[in-house]
Structure 1
Amino acid sequence: MTQKTELEILLAVVDHGNFSAAARVLGYTPSAVGKRVYQLEQKLRVPLLVRSTRRMTLTEAGQRYVGEARDILARLTALEEDIADDTGNLRGPIRLTSSAALGQLHVVPLVIEFMELNPEVEIELLLTDKIVDLVGEGFDIAVRSGVLPDSSLVLRKLTNNRRVPCAAPAYLEQHGVPQRPVDLTTHKCLRLGQEKQLSDWGFIRTTGGVSRLGPGFSCNSLDALHAACRAGRGIAWLPEFLISHDLKTGRLHSVLPDHTEPSAGGGIFILRPEMPYLPRRVRALSDYLADRFTEKATGSFA
C-alpha cells in the first residue's frame, strides 16, 4: 500500500469510529484495516489510536498526525486533480444518494447523461428515503427535497419543491370537491408516514382551521401514495415533480389551490460535506445537476 492509502485508512477509522465501519466504506476487511493502521504506528514508533470495544479515539500524537495528514491528503488530491485537468478528462468515483421518487424520475436520467459525457467517471447511486449520514457513510453528494434543517452540510438549492393537494377525477366525482381545508376531515386523506397535521400539507393557517386530516391511507413511499391517489383512493399532498404530467393530462386535479402557501414544500437541494478540497469530478457533477434542474424548473417543476 502507498502512503496515501495508509492516510486514507487512518482517516476513515477516525471519521467512522472503528475498524469495522471504516472497512465497510473502504471495501476491506476489519482485520486488514487494523493491520495497516498498526503498521503505520510501527513505522512512526508511536500509538495513534486508543482502542476500545465501541469506539476508537486519537492519542495526542494521533491528533497531531491526523491534523497534518488531512491537509497533506487534500493537497495531494488537488495535485492529482490538476494533473488530470491537463488531459481534459474527468475520472474517478463519485458516491451519490437521492430520495427514491425524485431520484428515479430526475436524478437517474441526469446521472446517465453525465456518465455518457464523462465515461471515466464511476458513479455509485443509492436511492433511499432514509436520511443518509453523508460523512459517516462516505457519500460525496446527496439530492434531497423538502424543508431541510440547519446542519454542517453545504447546501445548494436546485429549484423549488412545490407540493399540490390533489385527487383523481373519479374520487372527486364520488366524494365531492373540498372547498375549505376543514372539509378534509370528512375526506379520505393519503399521508406520507404518520403525518396528520394540516400544517404539513402547506395550507395557509387561519383561525378556525382544522388540525387533523380525515382517515385514509399512510405510507412511507411517495410512489405508493402517488399510485393510490391516481387509483382514486383519496386526496394526497404530492410534489409537483412527481405529478406534473398527471395534472397536465387531467389524470389528477389540484384541490384547494387558493388555500395553499406558494412556498410550502421547501426546495430541491444538493448537499455535500464541508471539505477543504472538492474534487473536480464532484464539482462538475454538482454543476451539471444544477444546470439541468434550472432548465427543468421552467418545465415540469414550475
Structure 2
Amino acid sequence: MTQKTELEILLAVVDHGSFSAAARVLGYTPSAVGKRVHQLEQRLRVPLLVRTTRRMTLTEAGQRYVEEARDLLARLTALEEDIADDAASLRGTIRLTSSAALGRLHVVPPVIEFMERHPVVEIDLLLTDKIVDLVGEGFDLAVRSGTLPDSSLVSRKLMSNRRVPCGAPAYLDQHGLPQQPEELTTHSCLHLGQEKRLLDWGFTRNQGGITRLGSGFSCNSLEALHAACCAGHGIAWLPEFLIAHDLHKGRLVPVLIDHADPNAGGGIFVLRPKATFLPRRVRALTDFLADHFTDIRTD
C-alpha cells in the first residue's frame, strides 16, 4: 500500500467512526485497516487515535495530521487528475453553483454546450439564491453577482452587474414618470429583501439624509420581482442581464438613469477555492464561462 492509501484509510476510519465501517467502504478487512493505522502510528512514533469500547477519537497529534492529510490528499488527487487530463480528453465531475435567475439565463446554456463538447465531463449544478460554502460543501466553482466581499476565494470578474430602475409602461402611464429619486417615496417600489432606501438602489442625495423607497411588493427572488414589474405592479431595480430583452422590446422602461450609479450593482464573478493544483476541466469550464459572458457583455 502507498502513503496515499494510508491517508485514505485513516480518513475513512475518522469519517466512518470505526475500523469495521471503514473496511466496508474501502473493501478491506477490519484487521487490514487496523494494521495499516497501527503501522502509520509506529512510523510517526505518535498515537493518532484513542480507542475505547464505545468510540474512537483523535489525539491532538491525530487531529493535526488528519487536517493536513485531507489537504495533501486533495492536492495529490487533483495533480494526478490534471496529469491524466493532459494525456486525454477532459473527464471527471465539476460541482458548480449559481444564483437562480443568473444561472437559468446565463450559466445553464454554456454549461450544456460545454458538456456537448466534452461528453465525459459530468456537471453537478446547484441553482440557489443562498450563499454556498464552496469549501465546506465541496464545490469547484460559483457564479455570483453583486459586490464581492473580502474572501479567501479566488475570483475572476466576468462582467459588470449594471442594475436599472425600471417600470412597465402601463404603471408609468397611470402613476407618472419620476423625475427625481425622492419621488420614489410616493411610488410602489418592488424590493429585493431588505432594500428600503434610495441608497440601496444606488441613488445618492446631495442634501444628506436617507429617503425611503415607497412601499410595495417585497421578495427574495429577482425573477419574482421581474414578473411583478412586468405586470405593472411598480418600479424595481433589476439587473440588466435579466431585463435587457424587456428593455429592447419596450415591455419595461428605464427611469431615473441620470441619477443612478452604474457601478452600484457590483459585478458578476466566477469564484473558486484556492488550490495548488486546479484540474484542467475546471480551468476549461472557467474559461468557457468567461467567453460566454464576454459575448453578452453590454457595458
The TM-score range, normalised by the shorter chain, is 0.7 to 0.9
Question: SS of the residue aligned with 1:132?
Answer: coil
Deviation at 1:200, TM superposition (A): 1.2
Classify 1:257/1:12 alpha carbon distance in 2 versus 1 (closer, same or farther; 3 Å). Answer: farther
Classify 1:244/1:289 alpha carbon distance in 2 versus 1 (closer, same or farther; 3 Å). Answer: same
> Residue in 2 aligned with 1:78?
79
Classify 1:11/1:251 alpha carbon distance in 2 versus 1 (closer, same or farther; 3 Å). Answer: farther
> Residue in 1 aligned with 2:121?
121
Classify 1:76/1:231 alpha carbon distance in 2 versus 1 (closer, same or farther; 3 Å). Answer: closer
Q: Is 1:63–2:56 an aligned residue pair?
A: no
Question: SS of the residue aligned with 1:115?
Answer: helix
CA RMSD of aligned residues (A): 3.0
Q: Per-residue CA shift, 1:100-142, capped at 9, x if unaligned?
A: 0000000000100100011010000000000111111110010
Distance in 1 (alpha carbons) for counterparts of 2:200 and 2:12 = 38
Classify 1:223/1:12 alpha carbon distance in 2 versus 1 (closer, same or farther; 3 Å). Answer: farther
> Residue in 2 aligned with 1:134?
134
> Residue in 1 aligned with 2:194?
194
Distance in 2 (alpha carbons) for counterparts of 1:192 and 1:12 = 44
Question: SS of the residue aligned with 2:190?
Answer: strand
Distance in 1 (alpha carbons) for counterparts of 2:175 and 2:207 = 26
> Residue in 1 aligned with 2:40?
44
Classify 1:73/1:245 alpha carbon distance in 2 versus 1 (closer, same or farther; 3 Å). Answer: closer
Unaligned runs of 5+ in 2: 27-32, 52-56
Distance in 1 (alpha carbons) for counterparts of 2:10 and 2:138 = 14
Classify 1:174/1:57 alpha carbon distance in 2 versus 1 (closer, same or farther; 3 Å). Answer: farther
Distance in 2 (alpha carbons) for counterparts of 1:3 and 1:205 = 64
CA contact (8 A) 1:182 1:209 kept: no
> Residue in 1 aligned with 2:149?
149
Distance in 1 (alpha carbons) for counterparts of 2:116 and 2:188 = 45
CA contact (8 A) 2:82 2:278 kept: no
What is the one-letter code of the residue matched to 2:230? Answer: R
CA contact (8 A) 2:6 2:37 kept: no
Question: SS of the residue aligned with 1:83?
Answer: helix
What is the one-letter code of the residue matched to 1:269? Answer: F
Distance in 1 (alpha carbons) for counterparts of 2:9 and 2:191 = 44
Q: Is 1:268–2:268 an aligned residue pair?
A: yes
What is the one-letter code of the residue matched to 2:119? Answer: P
Unaligned runs of 5+ in 1: 24-30
Deviation at 1:76, TM superposition (A): 4.4
Quote the sequence identity (%).
64
Classify 1:213/1:69 alpha carbon distance in 2 versus 1 (closer, same or farther; 3 Å). Answer: closer
Distance in 2 (alpha carbons) for counterparts of 1:3 and 1:229 = 60
Question: SS of the residue aligned with 1:135?
Answer: helix
Which has more radius of gyration? 2
Q: Per-residue CA shift, 1:47-89, capped at 9, x if unaligned?
A: 54689xxxx87622442465366335423431332133112x0
Q: Across the two proteins, how many residue pairs are aligned to each other?
A: 282
Distance in 2 (alpha carbons) for counterparts of 1:294 and 1:9 = 45
CA contact (8 A) 2:85 2:280 kept: no
Deviation at 1:34, TM superposition (A): 9.7
CA contact (8 A) 1:19 1:34 kept: no
